[in-house]
Chains A and B, each alone.
Chain A
Amino acid sequence: MKRRPNYLAGFASLVWLFLIGLPLYVMLAATLRTRTDYSDGGPLSFPKHWTLKNYTQDFSNGFGQYFLNTMWVTLAVVVIVLLLVPPLSYAIVRSKGRLTSGVFRLFLIGLAIPAQAVIVPMFYVISKAGLYDNLIGVILPTAAFSLPVCTLILSGVMRDITSDLYEAMAMDGAPPWRVFFQLVLPLSRGGLSTIMVFSALQAWNGFLFPLVLTQSDSSKVITLGLYNFQTEHGVDIPGLLAAVVLSMLPIFIVYLFARRALVQGLMGVGGK
Chain B
Amino acid sequence: MTTTTQRVAGRWTVNRSAGRSSAAVIRPGFAWAVPATLFFVLFAVVPLVLVAVLSFTSWNGLGSPQWTGMANWNALIHDHTMIQSLWLSLLITVLGVVVQTPLSLLLGVWAAGRQRNRAVLSAVYFIPLLLSATAISVLWRALLDPNFGVPAQAHWLFGNGNLLGMQSGAIGVLVFVGAWQYTPFHTLIYQGAARAIPQVLYQAAEMDGAGTIRQFWHITLPQLRNTMITSMILMVVGGLTTFDTVLILTQGGPGTDTTISAYYMYQKAFKGFDFGGGSAIALVLVVIATIISLIVVRVSGYDKMRSSAEGL
Give A contacts to B, CB under 8 Å.
Answer: 1, 3-4, 6, 8-10, 12-13, 16-17, 19-21, 23-24, 26-27, 30, 38-39, 42-44, 80, 83-85, 87-88, 90-92, 94-97, 99-100, 103, 105-114, 116-125, 127, 140-141, 143-145, 147-148, 151-153, 156-157, 159-160, 162-171, 173-176, 179-180, 183, 186-187, 204-205, 207-208, 212, 223, 226-227, 229-230, 234-235, 237, 240-241, 243-244, 247-248, 251-252, 255, 263, 266-267, 269-272
Contacts and interface: CB of A to CB of B under 8 A. Distances in A.
Given A116-B266, A121-B54, A171-B22, A226 B138 contact: yes
- Specify which of A90, A117, A183, A186 lies most central, judged by the most chain B CB atoms within 10 Å of its CB: A117
A117 B289 contact: yes
A38 B148 contact: yes
A20 B39 contact: no
A9 B131 CA distance: 25
Contacts of A23: 139-140, 143, 180
B142 A241 contact: yes
Contacts of B307: 156, 159-160
Contact of A266 (B23, B129, B138, B262): B129
A258 B204 CA distance: 38
Contacts of B290: 109, 112
Q: Is the interface of A mostly helix, strand, loop or mixed?
A: helix
Given A84-B39, A157-B308, 19 more contacts: A27-B139, A96-B27, A110-B45, A112-B294, A118-B44, A121-B54, A140-B43, A144-B43, A159-B306, A160-B308, A168-B13, A169-B25, A180-B32, A205-B134, A227-B134, A230-B141, A244-B131, A267-B188, A270-B238
A156 B308 contact: yes
B48 to A, nearest CB: 6
Given A91-B28, A240-B142, A247 B135 contact: yes
A112 B289 contact: yes
B149 interface: yes
A209 B247 CA distance: 14
B77 interface: no
B278 A120 contact: yes
A3 B12 CA distance: 47
Contact of A141 (B43, B129, B152): B43
Interface in B32-72: 32-33, 35-37, 39-40, 42-48, 50-51, 54, 59, 61, 65
Contacts of A3: 202, 206, 212
B198 interface: no
Interface of B: 4-5, 7-8, 12-14, 16, 19-20, 22-30, 32-33, 35-37, 39-40, 42-48, 50-51, 54, 59, 61, 65, 103, 106-107, 109-111, 121, 124-135, 138-143, 145, 148-150, 152-154, 180, 182-183, 185-186, 188-189, 202-203, 206, 211-212, 216, 234, 237-238, 240-241, 243-244, 247-248, 262, 265-266, 269-270, 275, 278-279, 282-283, 285-286, 289-290, 292-294, 296-297, 302-303, 305-309
Contact of A116 (B26, B186, B262): B262
Contact of A235 (B26, B148, B203, B285): B148
Given A16-B103, A159-B307, A187 B8 contact: yes
22 contacts: A4-B211, A6-B110, A8-B106, A9-B106, A13-B121, A23-B143, A24-B127, A44-B150, A87-B32, A87-B36, A94-B27, A111-B296, A112-B292, A113-B48, A113-B286, A120-B51, A121-B47, A144-B44, A159-B306, A162-B7, A187-B7, A270-B234
B14 A168 contact: yes
A4 B212 contact: yes
Given A23-B143, A226-B138, A164 B282 contact: no
Q: Is the interface of B mostly helix, strand, loop or mixed?
A: helix
A39 B148 contact: yes
